[in-house]
Amino acid sequence: MKTVAFYTLGCKVNQYETNGMTAKFLEYGYSIVEFGEIADIYVINTCTVTAMSDKKSRTVIRRAKSLNEKGNVVVTGCYSETAKEEVQKISEVDLIVGNNEKKDIVEIVEEYIENSCRGGFPYPPGQKGKKLMTKAVEQEEFMDFGATVSIDRTRLIIKVQDGCDNFCAYCIIPYAKGRARSRRIDSVISEIKCAVEKGVKEVVITGIEISSYGKGLAGNVSLIDLLEEVNNIEGLERIRLGSLEPNTISLDFVSRLSKLDKICNHFHLSLQSGCDETLKRMNRKYSVKEFEEKVTLLRSAFPDMALTTDIIVGFPGETEEEFKKTYEFLKEIGFSKMHVFKYSSRKGTVASRMENQIDAKEKEIRSKKLIELSDRNEKEFIKQYINRKVLVLFEKKRGSVIKGHTSNYIVVKSICKADVSNEIKTVEIKKQEGTELIGNIL
């Protein structure tokens, strides 16, 4: 039996697409093995969101070839999309598959191997996979894997949207993924129903920019319309949302969202900076005041919610005064957790050409301050649940210990004899251990 191994870098969209490619290979009779094992084919689904992502992608590509010199190393994802010429020069790469060809990856790989075995090379030297690289920016329709869910967990990622029209000054993703486009509601519902039949209790609605859901579809369809349909699926217990743009949060959206009993009270609102001047240079389309108003709206409907965000420090031109404004705003809002990133220049973006690039040492200092604030906030947020009862969807049991997550995504650990994996149980919280809660299943 032919074998294939996968390595996924980056976001939940990449994770979803790897699941889709895995299902395709299984359909063709391949056996899936761990990445560290010898395989006939290694598929690396790359990321390019930062310079470090590019570096990690190159490292994994070279590692794959070292595992099996005769194996075929297939590279796909955003790094190969935006830096094709650079990836072509990596000697370990056998084939490049564009982001928009992922659903056809098995046919593409087998065609390549068949031509190679016959002694013919379908692509000129130094032009690996050239004819397969349809640019993502030219893609007009959503790439739909169909209901080919590969079930191996309680929580399943469901991709409903691709591409982005925001063109933030720091971001290369619109050039890697193309313009915003949406998956048909009936296709989304079909995949989730298939997953529920196989035992999945929770789905994570994700995409490059799910707030733009509806673009490319007929009729006046939006994200909340999709969520109302998903909420009606019998047997599904939880709906978790991926990152939302602040401008999605309106009175109508929150009012309708609050009526959906399966929505998890965990929201990730992308902020990036707590300073209006910095936000303007980033080409973010809201002010600090507007962001705060959105948070107030959400908290009025979901008082127990977890609120997380992304923050970039050291964006070009960010003065010490601007950073202080960000720090104070973050303290005021009280996020339960913040994902802090040091600005990384990406060739081809507006920000890469800006003056007043910030020194690496200064970015490190600012990053450390925000991470410390985030750690304090997270522990304080979790602490409030001691001596309370919470509902936990348990996932994995190891020995006598089983772990799961609350609706607002706090890790809860319990000791029990029975295996309650993939079940929602009431837990009485007794204590806190770092960023985890410990309790007894009732």
79-94 pLDDT tens trace = 988 888 889 889 899 9
At 294 the pLDDT is 97
What average pLDDT does the segment 32-52 reach?
Answer: 93
**pLDDT > 50? residue 193:** yes
Phi-psi category of residue 314: left, alpha or beta, with phi > 0 → left and psi -120 to 50 → alpha: left
CATH 3.90.190.10 fits 3-134, yes or no: no
Q: pLDDT band at residue 230, thresholds of 50, 70 and 90?
A: very high
At 131 the pLDDT is 41
At 151 the pLDDT is 56
Q: pLDDT band at residue 176, thresholds of 50, 70 and 90?
A: confident
Average per-residue pLDDT for the chain: 91
Model confidence pLDDT, tens digit, residues 108-146: 999 888 877 654 444 444 444 444 444 545 556 777 777
CATH of 155-383, one of 3.40.50.11540, 3.40.50.720, 3.80.30.20, 3.90.1150.10: 3.80.30.20
At 372 the pLDDT is 98
CATH number for the region 389-441 comes to: 2.40.50
Q: What percent of the chain has pLDDT over 90?
A: 77
**pLDDT > 60? residue 286:** yes
Domain limits, the chain: 3-134, 155-383, 389-441
At 140 the pLDDT is 63
CB distance 189 to 226 below 8 Å = no
At 430 the pLDDT is 97
At 392 the pLDDT is 98
**pLDDT > 70? residue 147:** no
At 117 the pLDDT is 63
At 126 the pLDDT is 41
CA pair distance 57, 59, nearest whole angstrom:
5
At 99 the pLDDT is 87
CA pair distance 212, 61, nearest whole angstrom:
33
Q: Which residue has the higher pLDDT, 128 or 354?
A: 354
Which has the minimum average pLDDT: 67-81, 147-161, 185-199, 356-370?
147-161
Q: Which residue has the higher pLDDT, 320 or 112?
A: 320
Closest listed residue to residue 64, CA positions, set 92, 90, 25:
92
CB distance 47 to 77 below 8 Å = yes
- CB atoms closer than 10 angstroms to residue 85: 8
* Cα-only R_g, the chain: 23
Model confidence pLDDT, tens digit, residues 405-442: 999 999 999 999 899 999 999 999 999 999 999 999 99
Q: pLDDT band at residue 2, thresholds of 50, 70 and 90?
A: very high
